[in-house]
Amino acid sequence: MRLAALLLVSTLATAPALAADAPPPPELPRLGVQADGATVSGVSSGAYLAVQLHLSQGSLFARGVAAVAGGPFGCAQGSVLQALGPCLGRSPIDVPLLVQRTQALVTQGEIPPLTAQQNARVYLFSGAKDTVVNVATTQALQAQLQALLPHAHITARTDVPAAHGWVVDREGGDCDRMAAPHLLNCGVDLAGALLQHLLGPLNARADAVPEGALRAFDQRPFHTGPDLGPQGFVFVPPACEAGGCRVHVALHGCQMNAGFVGEAFARRSGLNAWAATNRLVVLYPQTGPGAVNGCWDWWGYGGAGYLGRNAPQMKAIAGMVARLQESPTR
């Protein structure tokens, strides 16, 4: 299905709420994760939101961002027509204009000054056979970030013959075919590549990931709007129970939340295998039934302030990271 359809179909296929008689999921644990900046990655709409978190949340996500099949910050300019045109590579993107508009948001106080991000590490990926988000869109994002963050460490990969989705090297579907759960087996360890770019050298990934390390948690204390699901997922290696680990936020794409694919992205993205051996907690927030086809808000379906520091979805995710930073309860 083309992203145009994903954006325009809203309530026909959305994530269900918890059953009325179902017990609420447990609260997100306090794990004492490191407070010197989380990293964030995302695919498709999640890539757009990852960039928004990186630029709008001050130092919280300033260390690094990875965008898979995404585009520039503020690309849609609050218009779904803009989102479906230039932002998918259907026509040229005016990068200088988007740079100016981002700088204007700083001046207006909608987002903080981009001081903490100046030495950020950025990983960009676009599949060579992606017919949904054109490679040109990712190239526009790279140009925008180079203008806004001239000292950032940016790398981009566009040579893998992948369709639209998240690339894996273990279990997944055909590399060049877009199909649920949108995990594409291209023989490329994308999770390892992006984590090592963002975090530096890592221990080898685990061959077997402990099943019990992935937990559901209650997202409702962070945001009660229907655009966020009632529960999210968090991967906690046993070594992280006592605190001191780093945290990475991983954002699914359209039609990739729990209502569409269950735990597929949270379990099979490849991120957990690296997290298990590198003292890394991975947070998987989930959109809900009010999110247009499960997409994160990158064009303004939730209101005009979707790019600002107080946008509901971003504020909720920032609150989740803040909870993880709190000292573990004994």
Active site (annotated) includes residue 189: no
CA dist., res. 261 & res. 235, Å (int): 17
Strands 183-185 and 214-218: unpaired
Catalytic option among 45, 56, 164, 227: 164
Using the predicted structure, report yes or no on whether residue 309 has a pLDDT greater than 50: yes
User: Please, are residues 283 and 232 in contact by the beta-carbon 8 Å criterion?
Assistant: yes
Rounded Cα distance, 156 and 164, in Å: 16
Give dist(CA 236, CA 45) in Å, integer. 25
pLDDT-derived band of residue 330, with 50, 70 and 90 as boundaries? low
Check whether 329 has a pLDDT greater than 60.
yes
240 neighbors 28 (Cβ within 8 angstroms)? no
d(CA 214, CA 205): 16
Q: Is 59 a catalytic residue?
A: no
Q: What is the pLDDT of residue 21?
A: 61
- Determine the straight-line distance between the first and last CA of the chain, rounded to whole angstroms: 48
pTM value? Answer: 0.94
> What are the structural domain ranges in the chain?
27-325
Q: How far apart, in whole angstroms, are the C-alpha atoms of residue 211 and residue 263?
A: 12
Q: Has 21 been annotated as catalytic?
A: no
Query: Band of the pLDDT at 90, cuts 50, 70, 90?
Result: confident
Tell me: pLDDT of 241 over 60. yes
**Residues above pLDDT 70, as percent of the chain:** 93
Q: How far apart are CA 13 and CA 247, in angstroms?
A: 31
Q: Which of 41, 44, 45, 126 is catalytic?
A: 44
Q: Choose, from 41, 54, 56, 130, the residue flagged as catalytic.
A: 130
Higher local confidence (pLDDT), 224 or 183: 183
pLDDT of residue 1: 38
For the chain, percent of residues with pLDDT exceeding 90: 87
State residue 37's pLDDT score.
Answer: 82
User: What integer is the mean pLDDT of 263-280?
Assistant: 98
Is residue 161 reached through a cis peptide bond, with omega within 30 degrees of 0 on the bond before it?
Answer: no
Looking at residue 213, the DSSP 8-state letter turns out to be G
Q: What is the pLDDT of residues 93-139, one digit of tens each?
A: 999 999 999 999 999 999 999 999 999 999 999 999 999 999 999 99
Please give the torsion angle defined by the CA atoms of residues 180, 187, 267 and 154, in that order, rounded to the nearest 10 degrees.
-100
Average pLDDT, integer, range 152-176: 97
